[in-house]
Amino acid sequence: RGKRAFIAGVADDNGYGWAIAKSLAAAGAEILVGTWVPALNIFETSLRRGKFDESRKLPNGSLMQITKVYPLDAVYDRPEDVPEDIKKNKRYAGSSKWTVQEVAESVKQDFGSIDILVHSLANGPEVSKPLLETSRNGYLAAISASSYSFVSLLKHFVPIMNPGGASISLTYIASERIIPGYGGGMSSAKAALESDTQVLAFEAGRKYKIRVNTISAGPLGSRAAKAIGFIDKMIEYSFANAPIQKELSADEVGNAAAFLVSPLSSAITGAVVYVDNGLNAMGVGI
């Protein structure tokens, strides 16, 4: 039987989540996605109206099929955690069962199990502020949406993951090197995500035979990255300084993710894998 993947963090056809979905679909996996509640309507409408058909094309000419789209807000674990103002918000009121626990329950009800869990989401409300000017709330919100969201997803999905399965997340080198402009505690959030990758690899490996890795991806002009404001500069910098001088395509990250959740990488876990044209290996810009 083919593998089944749940990919959290797909809301358009520009980001890494979409590219990972395509690579997994091309390798024969069944695709389920989790889409941030406020972005759900426009994503589903665009899908239905064929707006993504061109980018749904797989190498064999067929179109990627998304079996089901689940509304998800990965900063809430259970219904009782959702504050009143969010419950009443009209962008949330039209959807239901979108906390992490409820989504895992729905996927279990609908499909029984999954093999692959992908975390391709991040959010830092103060990302454009330097760390020194970041509020406590902004910092904690970045960690909640970008780091604990992975702990929570794995915690709730791992009981329905088949042994031998794997998970992957996306991180950024700002966790370990100074990248001015990646603020609001987002650098801290990525450091937590990378450290958690190791601890969770041990825990999920021992208890469930599940592998946990993260991809440290180079810069991509996704919707999230454009919101940070410095992405064009980062793409230019990478092009100028990386060992491989080309623009990074989302598909290259998608393909590496497909490898890291496949049996081809059965001995790789707890790793940060760089998919960045080698930029991480440079000591100076030239």
Q: Which residues bind ligand NAD (CB under 6 A)?
A: 9-11, 14-17, 36, 39, 72-75, 120-123, 145, 170-172, 217, 219-220, 222-225
| Of 164 and 180, CB closest to ligand NAD | 180
Burial of 66 (0-12, 13-18, 19+ CB in 10 A): buried
Instruction: Output the smallest distance, CB 8 to ligand NAD, in A.
Output: 6
| Of 92 and 207, CB closest to ligand NAD | 92
Angle at the Cα of 121 from the Cα atoms of 73 and 273, rounded to 5 degrees:
150
User: Are the C-beta atoms of residues 261 and 167 closer than 8 Å to each other?
Assistant: yes
| Of 18 and 201, CB closest to ligand NAD | 18
Please confirm, yes or no, whether 172 is among the known catalytic residues: yes
Residue nearest to ligand NAD (CB): 15
How many angstroms separate the CA atoms of 176 and 268, rounded?
Answer: 21
Please confirm, yes or no, whether 139 is among the known catalytic residues: no
How many angstroms separate the CA atoms of 215 and 105, rounded?
Answer: 27
Instruction: Output the smallest distance, CB 206 to ligand NAD, in A.
Output: 26
Name the active-site residue from 172, 208, 237, 274: 172
Name the active-site residue from 16, 92, 139, 182: 182
Instruction: Output the smallest distance, CB 146 to ligand NAD, in A.
Output: 6
Instruction: Output the smallest distance, CB 212 to ligand NAD, in A.
Output: 15
Helices (H), the chain: 16-26, 37-48, 84-88, 90-93, 100-111, 136-143, 149-157, 186-208, 223-228, 231-241, 250-260
Amino acid type, 81: D
Instruction: Output the smallest distance, CB 226 to ligand NAD, in A.
Output: 8
Which of 272, 217, 264 shows the shortest CA–CA distance to 242? 217
How many angstroms separate the CA atoms of 74 and 67, rounded?
Answer: 20
| Of 33 and 161, CB closest to ligand NAD | 33
How many angstroms separate the CA atoms of 276 and 38, rounded?
Answer: 30
| Of 16 and 52, CB closest to ligand NAD | 16
Active site residues: 172, 182
